Amino acid sequence: MQLDGHIQAIREDLATTAGLGDEATAQAAQRLSEALASTLHLRLLDLLGEAALEISGQLDSGRVEVRLAGREPELFVVLDDASDSTQVAPGEEFSERITLRLPEKLKASIEAAAAQEGISTNAWLVRTIARMLDRHSLKRSRNRIQGYAQG
């Protein structure tokens, strides 16, 4: 994604608007746009990061990452694999119990969803609840930045 083109367009818009004034106004606008270029770049990166978090919060699985290649950001969708944190760790036992009363229609829907994925109702419930808790944790940590930068 080329941010420099967008920043240049903003600078040109500022120059066009300043062109309505006198020469001193145009020169001041030129100096201002040069000074703001780096700040605009950082603010656009912040905006992309916020957008990635918003979109990630709406995904059932996976997340959107903003990665830097030099100065330019790239957006990536990272899908969760079968070995993600919502799976039960090897050797972990299902030792705790809970009684849950459900409306018949909801119970039937849960059983159908589990059958469609080829897993037990219990495994489906454990995985679904773990995913929801992970997603809730992601929403609470809005200031977290995830990804990598490549120089």
- Tens of pLDDT, residue by residue over 28-58, are 998 998 888 889 998 999 999 888 888 888 8
Which H or E run contains 127?
A: helix 121-140
105 with 31: CB under 8 angstroms? no
Show me where the domains of the chain are located: 3-150
The reported pTM is 0.51
Calculate the dihedral angle through the C-alpha atoms of 83, 84, 90, 96, rounding to the nearest 10 degrees: -140
Amino acid 83: pLDDT: 47
Q: What integer is the mean pLDDT of 112-120?
A: 88
24 falls in which pLDDT band (50, 70, 90)?
A: very high
Q: What integer is the mean pLDDT of 64-87?
A: 75
Amino acid 106: pLDDT: 92
109 falls in which pLDDT band (50, 70, 90)?
A: very high
Residue 83 DSSP code: T
